[in-house]
Amino acid sequence: ELGGFPEDCIKVNLDYIRSFQFESKLMPSTWIVIRIDGCHFHRFSEIHEFDKPNDKQALDLMNLCAAAVLKEFQDIIFSYGVSDEYSFVLKKDSQLYQRRASEIVSAIVSFFSSMYVMKWKDVFPEKELKYPPYFDGRAVCYPSNEILRDYLAWRQVDCHINNQYNTCFWNLVKSGKSKSEAQSYLKGTQAREKNELLHKEFGIDYNMLPLMFRQGSSVFRVETENSSIMENDNSVGKAQTKIVTEYCNIIEQTFWEAHPHLGLAATRCP
Amino acid sequence: ELGGFPEDCIKVNLDYIRSFQFESKLMPSTWIVIRIDGCHFHRFSEIHEFDKPNDKQALDLMNLCAAAVLKEFQDIIFSYGVSDEYSFVLKKDSQLYQRRASEIVSAIVSFFSSMYVMKWKDVFPEKELKYPPYFDGRAVCYPSNEILRDYLAWRQVDCHINNQYNTCFWNLVKSGKSKSEAQSYLKGTQAREKNELLHKEFGIDYNMLPLMFRQGSSVFRVETENSSIMENDNSVGKAQTKIVTEYCNIIEQTFWEAHPHLGLAATRCP
Amino acid sequence: ELGGFPEDCIKVNLDYIRSFQFESKLMPSTWIVIRIDGCHFHRFSEIHEFDKPNDKQALDLMNLCAAAVLKEFQDIIFSYGVSDEYSFVLKKDSQLYQRRASEIVSAIVSFFSSMYVMKWKDVFPEKELKYPPYFDGRAVCYPSNEILRDYLAWRQVDCHINNQYNTCFWNLVKSGKSKSEAQSYLKGTQAREKNELLHKEFGIDYNMLPLMFRQGSSVFRVETENSSIMENDNSVGKAQTKIVTEYCNIIEQTFWEAHPHLGLAATRCP
Amino acid sequence: ELGGFPEDCIKVNLDYIRSFQFESKLMPSTWIVIRIDGCHFHRFSEIHEFDKPNDKQALDLMNLCAAAVLKEFQDIIFSYGVSDEYSFVLKKDSQLYQRRASEIVSAIVSFFSSMYVMKWKDVFPEKELKYPPYFDGRAVCYPSNEILRDYLAWRQVDCHINNQYNTCFWNLVKSGKSKSEAQSYLKGTQAREKNELLHKEFGIDYNMLPLMFRQGSSVFRVETENSSIMENDNSVGKAQTKIVTEYCNIIEQTFWEAHPHLGLAATRCP
C-alpha cells in the first residue's frame, strides 16, 4: 500500500535522480532539419499493396501529414518529401522546445505518425490499415544557407536517381524478369541508358512521368496578399501565409528567389 | 528539369553534407529509459471529455499501446505508466539502433502514437477522435539497478501524490467549488488531511479506490511455463515470455524478487 | 607475472572496452573558439607578487605563449587575451584533430601551459616559479562572422570594464582603504564617475594608461609582402604570414577591414 | 578608444552570445577515466635522446607528474602509466568541475604539462629541455567496477605486448639490423618466440627486466596507519592517505583486494 511509503526518503534523492537527465541542445542560429524515415516500410508497402515504383495515394498521404505538421509547428518554414522520408526545416532562430533535440524530433515524428493513421481512411477508402506504421527521426543542424541548400539538393538528386532506377526495375519485373535478373540488367547503367531502356522497351518517355515522382514534394509556406487589419484606428498591412504543396525543382536558384520570405535565396556570403 | 542536373557537382559535396550529421550514442551497459509524455494533453483530455480525476478508458488505451510497444521492441523489459506519461526500460546490453538516442526515442514514440490512434475506436467506441494526439520523448541512462529502481519509485510516488491531490480537487469542484477555490482549499494540506477530507466530505475511502489510479500501471514480460521443444531429438526447455499489465507496488523489494528475470532484484552492490 | 596472462581473454573484450569511448565533434564550417582560463590565478598572482591591477610582465608572458600557440597550431588565425584568459580562434574549415573537441582543447591548453613554465625565467628573471600554474579550457562554436565578432567584442568590453574597476580599486587600496571599503566605495558607480575618481583623487587620466591594459592583447597572423618564389621557371607570388601582437580596438569594423585575410570583415549577410 | 563604446549594445546580446556555450557533463555515478597521451612524443624522445626501448628517467618524470596530479586533484584515486600515456581514475561520485568533461580534462592535462616542464631539470640535470612537450586528453566513463578493471587490464596487457616487441626490436637494431629489417624479422612472432629470441640472441631473460618496464607504473592512494587525533576531548581515529608508486600486476584480483579502500575489489555483481 503506497500511502505508507516514506516520501521523505524519495524526496532526498530527487535531485540525484534528475541529475542523470541530460540535454542535447541544438546550436543557436543554425538551420535545424528534422528528417523522418519510415521504419520497415518495404514490408509495410508490400502488405498494403502500394503501387510500384510509386503509389500516388501513399505519397499524397505523406504530403497531407507534412502539411499538417507545418500547420501545427509554426517554426517549420519548408519541407521536402520523397518515398517514405520527409525533411522539415525549422527557421534559424527557432526556440521550439528551447532547441532540445530529443523533444523536437519526437514531437514532430509523433504528430506525423498520428496524422498518418488518422488520414489513412480518407486517402485509402478501399484499404484497411493492417498494423501501425512508424517512423524514426533525427535532427541535423546546418550553419549556412549554402549548406542547407546543398542538403535539400542532395535529397532531390537522390529522388531523381532512385526514381529512374525504380521505374526501370519495376517495368522489367512487370515484363516478366525476376527481381534479381532486373537488378543484374541495370547494374552499371548510366542515366541516359536508363532513359533509352524505358523509351525503347516500354515506350515510356521518362520526362513525361508525373513531376511528383521525378522531383518529390515540397510543402512550404507562401505569403498571401496582405490583408488590411484595423489596428488602433490604422489600417495595417500584415503578411498572411498559407501552406502549399508543389512538385518543383528546388536545386535551382529560381525557386528560392521566387520565395524570398523563406530566406534561402542568398548563398555565397562570407 | 532534373535530368540535366549536374550530378557530379553534388557527389563531390556528399561527404561534406553528411559530415554535419552527428550521433548521440547512449553509454553501453547502462539501463536506458525512454520516457514519453503527452503534448498538450490537458486540452486533449478536455476536448475528448475524459473523466476527472482519472479516465479508466484513457488509461486502458495507454496500457494497450504500451503492451504493443513491448511486443514490437523485444529489448524493452519493463514499462510504467501514469496519466499521459509512460517510461520504457530497455535491458542494459540492448543494441537497438546501436544505442543511438534519437532513433530509439523517435521509433518508440512514433509507434506508440500510431497505435494510440489505431486503437482509439476499440477503447472509445462512442467517441470520435477529433485531432491527432502526440507525445514527446527523451532518453535517460541509469548505470546501476539501484538508481533505476529509484527512478521508478519516484514515478510511482509522483503518481500517488498527484492522484491524492487530484481526487480531492475534482471532488471539491464537483461539489460546487470553483477551481481556484479548490486549489486554495488544498494548499499546504498533508497526505493524512487529504484522506480525511475525502472520507468526511465525500465518503471516499482513498485506499479503496482502484489500484490502477493509485499505483499506476506496470506492463512487463513474465516467463511462462517452459514449453518443451524438440531440438536435435532432444527435448529442450525454453523460456517463453508473455506481456502482462499489473497495478502493483514497484517500490518494494517484493515485486522485483517475484520477477527475477527482470534482473532488478539486487540493488546494493559495490 | 604478466607473461602468463591469458591474452585471448582480453582481446575478446577489446571492442567492448572501446565502445565506451565517445567522440564530441565540433560542427563543421563554424568558427571554433578555444578559451582558456587560469585556475586559482588569484592565489597564483599573490604568491608570485604580480603588480596590481596589471602586471606587465605577466601579460607579456601570456602573449608570448599565445604567439607560440599560433606558431604550433597553424589553423589558429586570431587570439585575444586579457588577464589570465585567452581565446583562440580556429578557421572555420579547420580539420585539426578531425574537430574532436577534447583533443583540440587539451592539446592547446597543454602546449600553452608547458610554454608558460618554459618561458617564465625569460620574463621573470628575478622571480622563482614556486609551483606549476594551470589552466582549464573549453570549446565553443560560432556559426557566423557576426556572432564571432560579438563574442570578441564582449571579451574586449569585459576587459575595459574590469580594468577600469580594478584601477580604481587598487588605487583606493594603495591610498589606505581596506579592500572592503574600496569595494563599497565603488559599488554602483558609472564609467564616468570612475574616470573622475581616478582623475581627481589620484591624478590619473584613464585614457593615458597603457593600451595593453585598457584593450587587452590581440595576437594574430598578418600577411607580409609577397616573396617571389621560382616555381617551374615562373616567379610566383606567395603570401607569407607572420605573427604579431597588438593592443587594438577589435570591436570596430576598421580593424577587420585592415586585415581582410582574417575573413571577418563582412558581418551582415543573410 | 574603448571608453566611448556603447556598452548597452553589447549587454543586450550577452545572453545570446552565451547561448552558444554548451556543457558536456559526464554521467553521474560512473567511474571517470582521464587518459592523456604525449603529442608527437616519437620526435620528442628522439630529440631528447631517450634510451630505447625504455628511458628510466623519462618514466620517472611521468610518474612524478602523476603523483603531483593525485596530490592536486583529491578525487583521483588511482592512475596507471606506460610510455607517454597516463590514465587517471576519478572516484564514481566525484563532483570535480560538476563533472564537466572539458574542464576536468583540460585542468588535469594542463597541470601535468606544467609539472613536466618544472621537474625536467630535477630528473634530467644533464639535459636541456629543447621545446615544450604537450599532451592531449580525453574523458571516458565506465559504469561498473568490472568494466573499469577491464580497461586497466587492457592498458597493462598493451604495456606488456609493446614492451616485449620493443625490447626485441631495439636489441635487433643495436645489433646492426636496420629498422625495417628488425620489423620484418619480428612480424608474426608469438610471445614465446620473442622471449626465446631475447634469450638466445642477446642473453636477456625477459622476466628479469625491471618491473617498471614490463608492468607499467601505478600511482595511487594508500591508507596509512590511523593517527590519533584529539577531537572534543576524544581520541578519534582518522584515516590518513599517502600517494605511492608501484610496478605491480593490476590485472589480478590480489592487488585490488590488498587495497580495499580503492573500492574496486568486487566485480561480478548484478
**Nearest to D262, CA basis, from D237, D247, D244:** D244
- Give the pLDDT confidence score for residue B117 in this predicted structure: 98
Q: How far is C58 from chain D (nearest CA, A)?
A: 16
- Give the pLDDT confidence score for residue C241 in this predicted structure: 85
Q: How far is A72 from chain D (nearest CA, A)?
A: 26
Average the pLDDT over each of A147-156, B109-118, B227-236 and give the range with the smallest value: B227-236
Does position C126 have pLDDT exceeding 50, yes or no?
Answer: yes
Q: How far is D23 from chain B (nearest CA, A)?
A: 14
The shortest CB-CB distance from B27 to any of D143, D145, D265 is to D143
The chains in contact with chain C, meaning 3 or more Cβ pairs closer than 8 Å, are A, B, D
- Give the pLDDT confidence score for residue D266 in this predicted structure: 85
**Nearest to D38, CA basis, from D112, D155, D110, D133:** D133
Does position A7 have pLDDT exceeding 70, yes or no?
Answer: no
The residues on B that touch D, with CB distances below 8 Å, are: 27, 29-30, 141, 143-145, 147, 263, 265-266, 269-270
d(CA C94, CA D62): 31
Does position A83 have pLDDT exceeding 70, yes or no?
Answer: yes
Contacts of A142 (CB under 8 A, 6+ apart): A30, A31, A33, A148, A151, B20
- Give the pLDDT confidence score for residue A270 in this predicted structure: 44
Confidence category of residue A2, pLDDT binned at 50, 70, 90 = very low
Does position C11 have pLDDT exceeding 70, yes or no?
Answer: no
- As a whole number, mean pLDDT of residues C212-221 equals 97
Average the pLDDT over each of B236-240, C217-221, D5-9, D241-245 and give the range with the smallest value: D5-9
- Looking at the domain assignment, is residue C221 inside a domain? no
Tell me the average pLDDT of chain B. Answer: 91
Distance of CA C1 to the CA centre of its chain: 49
Per-residue pLDDT tens digits for A205-256: 999 999 999 999 999 999 886 655 555 666 555 668 899 999 999 999 999 9
Please give the helix or strand (H or E) that residue C8 lies within, else none.
helix C7-18
Q: How far is D111 from chain C (nearest CA, A)?
A: 5
- Give the pLDDT confidence score for residue C226 in this predicted structure: 62
- Give the pLDDT confidence score for residue D237 in this predicted structure: 59
The chains in contact with chain A, meaning 3 or more Cβ pairs closer than 8 Å, are B, C, D
Question: D110, C113: Cβ pair inside 8 Å?
Answer: yes
The shortest CB-CB distance from D263 to any of B147, B263, B270 is to B270
Residue D203: CB atoms within 10 A of its CB come to 7
Question: C28, B22: Cβ pair inside 8 Å?
Answer: no
Per-residue pLDDT tens digits for B160-198: 999 999 999 999 999 999 999 999 999 999 999 999 999
**Nearest to C240, CA basis, from C261, C256, C264:** C261
- Give the pLDDT confidence score for residue A232 in this predicted structure: 62
Q: How far is B260 from chain C (nearest CA, A)?
A: 26
Does position D219 have pLDDT exceeding 90, yes or no?
Answer: yes
Confidence category of residue D226, pLDDT binned at 50, 70, 90 = low
Q: Which residue has the cell 523489459?
A: B77
- As a whole number, mean pLDDT of residues B136-145 equals 97
**Nearest to B247, CA basis, from B184, B160, B165:** B160
DSSP C27: P
Does position D75 have pLDDT exceeding 90, yes or no?
Answer: yes
Cross-strand partners of D137:
D36
- Report yes or no: D103 and D95 within 8 Å, Cβ to Cβ: no
d(CA D155, CA D150): 9
**Nearest to A129, CA basis, from A121, A140, A141:** A121
Does position C202 have pLDDT exceeding 70, yes or no?
Answer: yes
- Looking at the domain assignment, is residue B261 inside a domain? no
- Looking at the domain assignment, is residue A44 inside a domain? yes
Does position B155 have pLDDT exceeding 90, yes or no?
Answer: yes
Confidence category of residue B144, pLDDT binned at 50, 70, 90 = very high
**Nearest to B69, CA basis, from B84, B50, B90:** B90
Does position D1 have pLDDT exceeding 90, yes or no?
Answer: no
Q: Position D53: which residue type? A: P
Confidence category of residue D241, pLDDT binned at 50, 70, 90 = confident
Does position A9 have pLDDT exceeding 70, yes or no?
Answer: no
Q: How far is D261 from chain C (nearest CA, A)?
A: 24
Question: What is chain C's alpha carbon radius of gyration, rounded to the nearest angstrom?
Answer: 23
Question: A270, C265: Cβ pair inside 8 Å?
Answer: yes
Cross-strand partners of A139:
A34
- Report yes or no: B210 and A22 within 8 Å, Cβ to Cβ: no
DSSP D82: E
- Looking at the domain assignment, is residue A100 inside a domain? yes
- Looking at the domain assignment, is residue D23 inside a domain? no
Does position D6 have pLDDT exceeding 60, yes or no?
Answer: no
Per-residue pLDDT tens digits for B244-253: 999 999 999 9
Does position B58 have pLDDT exceeding 90, yes or no?
Answer: yes
Does position A268 have pLDDT exceeding 90, yes or no?
Answer: no
Average the pLDDT over each of A114-128, B73-87, C229-243, D168-182 and give the range with the smallest value: C229-243
CATH of the domain at B135: 3.30.70.3000
Torsional class of A97: left (φ above 0), alpha (ψ -120 to 50), beta (otherwise): left
D270 → chain B, closest CA residue: B266
- As a whole number, mean pLDDT of residues D79-96 equals 98
Question: What is chain B's alpha carbon radius of gyration, rounded to the nearest angstrom?
Answer: 23
Torsion of CA A140, A144, A148, A151, to 10 degrees: -80
- Give the pLDDT confidence score for residue B71 in this predicted structure: 97
Contacts of B174 (CB under 8 A, 6+ apart): none
- Give the pLDDT confidence score for residue D23 in this predicted structure: 86
B192 → chain A, closest CA residue: A3
- Give the pLDDT confidence score for residue D3 in this predicted structure: 47
Question: D27, A20: Cβ pair inside 8 Å?
Answer: yes
d(CA D134, CA D185): 33
**Nearest to D117, CA basis, from C183, C131, B157, A232:** C131
DSSP D74: T
- 3-state SS record for chain B: CHHHCCHHHHHHHHHHHHCCCCCCECCCCCEEEEEEEECCHHHHHHHCCCCCCCCHHHHHHHHHHHHHHHHHCCCEEEEEEECCEEEEEECCCCCHHHHEHHHHHHHHHHHHHHHHHHHHHHHCCCCCCCCCCCEEEEEEEECCHHHHHHHHHHHHHHHHHHHHHHHHHHHHHHCCCCHHHHHHHHCCCCHHHHHHHHHHHHCCCHHHCCHHHHHCEEEEEEEEEEEEEEECCEEEEEEEEEEEEECCCCCCHHHHHHCHHHCCCCCCCC
Chain D neighbors of C214, CB-CB under 8 A:
2
The three cell numbers of residue C42 are: 588569484
Residue B106, domain extent:
31-157
Per-residue pLDDT tens digits for B18-32: 999 998 999 999 999
Does position C41 have pLDDT exceeding 60, yes or no?
Answer: yes
Contacts of A178 (CB under 8 A, 6+ apart): none
Question: For D252, phi and psi rounded to 5 degrees?
Answer: -75, 150
Does position B3 have pLDDT exceeding 50, yes or no?
Answer: no
Looking at per-residue pLDDT, the higher value among C112 and C3 belongs to C112
- Give the pLDDT confidence score for residue B123 in this predicted structure: 98
Chain A neighbors of C27, CB-CB under 8 A:
27, 30, 141, 143
- Looking at the domain assignment, is residue D59 inside a domain? yes
- Report yes or no: B157 and B251 within 8 Å, Cβ to Cβ: yes
Does position C236 have pLDDT exceeding 60, yes or no?
Answer: no
The shortest CB-CB distance from A249 to any of B2, B116, B206 is to B2
A21 → chain D, closest CA residue: D27
Contacts of C160 (CB under 8 A, 6+ apart): C214, C215, D2, D3, D5
Confidence category of residue D229, pLDDT binned at 50, 70, 90 = low
Does position C186 have pLDDT exceeding 90, yes or no?
Answer: yes
Question: C133, D141: Cβ pair inside 8 Å?
Answer: no
- Give the pLDDT confidence score for residue D258 in this predicted structure: 96
- Give the pLDDT confidence score for residue C198 in this predicted structure: 95
Task: Give which of C25, C93, C144 to mutate to test A binding, by max A Cβ within 10 Å.
Answer: C144
- Give the pLDDT confidence score for residue B224 in this predicted structure: 84
Q: How many structural domains does chain C have? A: 1
Chain D neighbors of B148, CB-CB under 8 A:
none
Question: D28, A22: Cβ pair inside 8 Å?
Answer: no
Confidence category of residue B270, pLDDT binned at 50, 70, 90 = very low
Q: Please tell me which of A214-223, C237-246, D232-241, D259-268 the model is most confident about, judged by mean pLDDT.
A: A214-223
Average the pLDDT over each of B175-189, C256-270, D252-266 and give the range with the smallest value: C256-270
- Looking at the domain assignment, is residue D158 inside a domain? no
Contacts of D5 (CB under 8 A, 6+ apart): C157, C160, C251
- Looking at the domain assignment, is residue B206 inside a domain? no
Instruction: Strands of chain C (E only): list them.
Output: 31-38, 76-82, 85-90, 135-142, 217-231, 234-246
Inter-CA distances, A88 with A77, A131, C97, D88, Å: 8, 25, 32, 44
Does position A176 have pLDDT exceeding 90, yes or no?
Answer: yes
Does position D5 have pLDDT exceeding 90, yes or no?
Answer: no
